[in-house]
Amino acid sequence: MTTQTPDTETPQRFPEVDAALDDLAEGEKTWAALPLARRRALLDRIRALSSQHATEWVDAATGVKKLDPSSPLVGEEWLSGPYSMITAATLLAQSIAKLESGQSPLADAKFGTAPGGRSTVKVLPMTTWDSLLLSGYTAEVWLEPGVTETEARATAGLGQKDPTATGGIGVVLGAGNITSIAPLDALYELFAFNRVVALKLNPIMDPMLPVLRKVLAPLVEIGAVRILTGGADVGTYLVHHSQVAHVHMTGSSLTHDAIVFGTGDDGAKRKASGEALLDKPISSELGGVSPTIVLPGKWTKADIAFQAEHVATQRLHNGGYNCVASQVVVVSADWPQKDEFLAALRTALDDAPARVPYYPGSDARVASATSSFPNAERHGPNGGRVLVTDLDPGSYAPLLQTEYFSPVLGVVELPYNGREFARRAVATANEDFIGTLGVNIVAHPDTLAELGSELETLIESLKYGTVAVNAWTALGFLTAGAPWGAFPGHTLDDVQSGIGVVHNAYLIERPERTVARGPFRPAPRSILNREMALTPKPPWFVTNKTAATTGRLMTVFAGAPSWTKLPALFASALRG
């Protein structure tokens, strides 16, 4: 058994990795022989185990994030942890059940059309429960141009259309920020590509190992998954191992380039010449700098306060350590309410709950931002949150080209108003920002009505993997049926936000983007203003006072839906 390790003469060996890969080579045979019914049963067990061990999962995550266990912020760990795993396993099992019966996973899906000859697939809401728990929120997948409804239905299922055609061993390099990313990516490798999985945890997530072993036990038992820990040396050994057929990673573009081309001057030379050191395919989800475009309109004071909290959440959720955290707010310099909105944003940054900067390097990245922008404002407890405003156009570049991955938020002002501002803001998002993972648009319903069909044209022109209108793009992450990843077309030497997608529990072939939409106002103001949305302040808002209780109740409900569980859930949500 031989391996390659970049930039070393005598590679170090890791017997535990060799043993895991030998196990997976045998496990691939078991997986290939496993009929769809058995695979569905495995998913049902994973769903049940995720529910059974949800509290243990959240307790471990709370320790990783250094959260006060009594803080409402623990709600983030319920929703982005076991809740996401339960909903993904549930929907994947339903897709497998469709294939078992000879149907497409999209047999019951509602299709539509979008500009540019695109077909769309509705992925939220899909059930009565969705409509109740996330009232007013929707998501649809826009397929690549030219993909018809007939083709989409026929090709959905990916690797499960021929379960015996396995794809070897895939490595999944897990993320260090959101606890469900690693196990969800392992599921996608297995079910989308029929690859058994060597799942390597980010060292930050090592405390999650005991609970992930319990949740993924059905797959570990049959040899389809092995969970590994260790540092960069283990990861390097693993991805260059001769038994590995494919690599998937979540992280930064710098880590991606180190894996693909190597490090130091030699790595830079390889990248410049396009000579990859990695001798196997790699897919990735890498983040970037996400914009939030605020379209000018006539807002009430309540609208301004709510949307300021919304934008603050987009930055401060999980402490700012999200690949799709909004980093730059794009506003109209000519908007009469601009100063009022920015004042409310400052208040929201000040008032959001305190938290420990748990992610390594956060303080250094904050210091880098304040060094680049000496007039940056400091907000929140101990001044740990940075707001960059009043920039000259020539000073924007570091803000738009550096993913700070910390509580740093900037404001870019563009001239014009109305339609012209919308067009300029979209062009700026496409041309000046690094990364294509997600973009948010915030706009009053009257403004959206004035744009009419041009709104869809603007969405079409945004080259992002998820576009959210009056919602945060993280809703796309939370929606199990939505593909999650960068806009298609990136290459190894210009990877931006990555290559390929994950999640995608309907196993849709050739998705282009996800478009999520939400209500401009929470209930009851939404109802009073004739928006058909019953959702109060969403549980992912960092200012939601009952987020922990609501997140727990949503997770319990997802594990075993029942009408009897709804009253307590709604009561908690309304108090948020």
Query: In angstroms, rounded to a whole number, what is the distance separating the alpha carbons of residues 538 and 269?
Result: 48
Domain boundaries, the chain: 290-505
Q: How far is CA 242 from CA 4, 171, 200, 297, in A?
A: 8, 12, 17, 58
> Does 530 have pLDDT greater than 90?
no
Determine the average pLDDT of the residues in 316-325: 97
The pLDDT value given to residue 534: 87
> Does 7 have pLDDT greater than 90?
no
The pLDDT value given to residue 2: 33
Q: How far is CA 331 from CA 377, 404, 429, in A?
A: 18, 20, 12
Q: What burial class does residue 249 get, using C-beta atoms within 10 Å of its C-beta: 0-12 exposed, 13-18 middle, 19+ buried? A: buried
Please give the full DSSP string across 399-428, using - where no structure is assigned: HHH----SSEEEEEEE---HHHHHHHHHHH
Geometric angle at alpha carbon 140, from 455 and 446, rounded to 5°: 30
The pLDDT value given to residue 12: 87
DSSP bridge partners of 8: none
Geometric angle at alpha carbon 461, from 327 and 144, rounded to 5°: 110
Query: In angstroms, rounded to a whole number, what is the distance separating the alpha carbons of residues 268 and 423?
Result: 37
Query: In angstroms, rounded to a whole number, what is the distance separating the alpha carbons of residues 285 and 252?
Result: 8
DSSP bridge partners of 515: 140, 467
Geometric angle at alpha carbon 302, from 300 and 307, rounded to 5°: 100
Residue type, 515: V
End-to-end CA distance of the chain: 57
Q: Three-state DSSP class for 390? A: coil
Residues sharing a CB contact under 8 Å with residue 2, sequence separation 6 or more, in sequence order:
242
The pLDDT value given to residue 393: 82
Determine the average pLDDT of the residues in 13-26: 97
The pLDDT value given to residue 88: 98
For residue 575, give the nearest of 540, 536, 534 by alpha carbon. 536
Geometric angle at alpha carbon 152, from 166 and 171, rounded to 5°: 30
Determine the average pLDDT of the residues in 429-445: 98
What are the structure tokens assigned to 154, written together?
Answer: 């026929």
pLDDT band, very low/low/confident/very high, at 5 (cuts 50, 70, 90): very low
Determine the average pLDDT of the residues in 74-88: 98
Q: How far is CA 371 from CA 291, 325, 367, 433, in A?
A: 22, 21, 6, 20
Determine the average pLDDT of the residues in 105-120: 97
List pLDDT tens digits, range 535-558: 999 999 999 999 999 999 999 999
pLDDT band, very low/low/confident/very high, at 304 (cuts 50, 70, 90): very high
Determine the average pLDDT of the residues in 58-63: 98
Q: Rounded mean pLDDT of the chain?
A: 96
Residue type, 190: L
Query: In angstroms, rounded to a whole number, what is the distance separating the alpha carbons of residues 303 and 474?
Result: 21
The pLDDT value given to residue 229: 98
Q: Three-state DSSP class for 366? A: helix
Residues 383, 384, 389, 390: is their CA dihedral positive or negative?
A: positive
Weakest-pLDDT range from 9-13, 162-166, 261-265: 9-13
Instruction: Kindly report the pTM of this predicted structure.
Output: 0.96
Query: In angstroms, rounded to a whole number, what is the distance separating the alpha carbons of residues 486 and 473?
Result: 12
Q: Three-state DSSP class for 490? A: coil
Q: Three-state DSSP class for 371? A: helix
Q: Does domain 290-505 have CATH number 2.120.10.30?
A: no
The pLDDT value given to residue 1: 30
Are 12 and 139 a contacting pair, CB within 8 Å? Answer: no
> Does 3 have pLDDT greater than 50?
no
pLDDT band, very low/low/confident/very high, at 531 (cuts 50, 70, 90): confident
pLDDT band, very low/low/confident/very high, at 463 (cuts 50, 70, 90): very high
